Amino acid sequence: MAQRLQLLQQILEKSPNDAFALFAIAKEHEGLGDSEQALAFYLRLQSADPAYVGLYYHLGKLYEKLNRPDDALATYRTGMDVARKAGDMHALSELNGARMEIDDEDV
Every domain of the chain and the residues it spans: 1-41, 50-107
Rounded mean pLDDT, 18-23: 96
Angle (nearest 5°) at CA 25 between 102 and 64: 15
**SS3 string of 38-56?**
HHHHHHHHHHHCCCCCHHH
Report the pLDDT value the prediction gives residue 100, as an integer from 0 to 100: 95
- CATH of the domain spanning 50-107, picked from 1.20.1300.10, 1.25.40.10, 3.40.50.720, 3.30.2350.10: 1.25.40.10
Report the pLDDT value the prediction gives residue 103, as an integer from 0 to 100: 81
Report the pLDDT value the prediction gives residue 56, as an integer from 0 to 100: 98
Judged against a pLDDT cut of 90, whether residue 105 lies above it is answered with: no
Judged against a pLDDT cut of 60, whether residue 70 lies above it is answered with: yes
User: What value does the mean pLDDT of the chain take?
Assistant: 94
* Per-residue burial over 13-30, b = 16 or more CB atoms within 10 Å of its CB, e = otherwise: eeeeebeebbbbbbbbbb
Total-model pTM: 0.90
The rounded distance, in Å, linking the Cα atoms of 86 and 24 is 21
Strand, coil or helix: 88: coil
Written as one letter, the residue type at 69 is: P
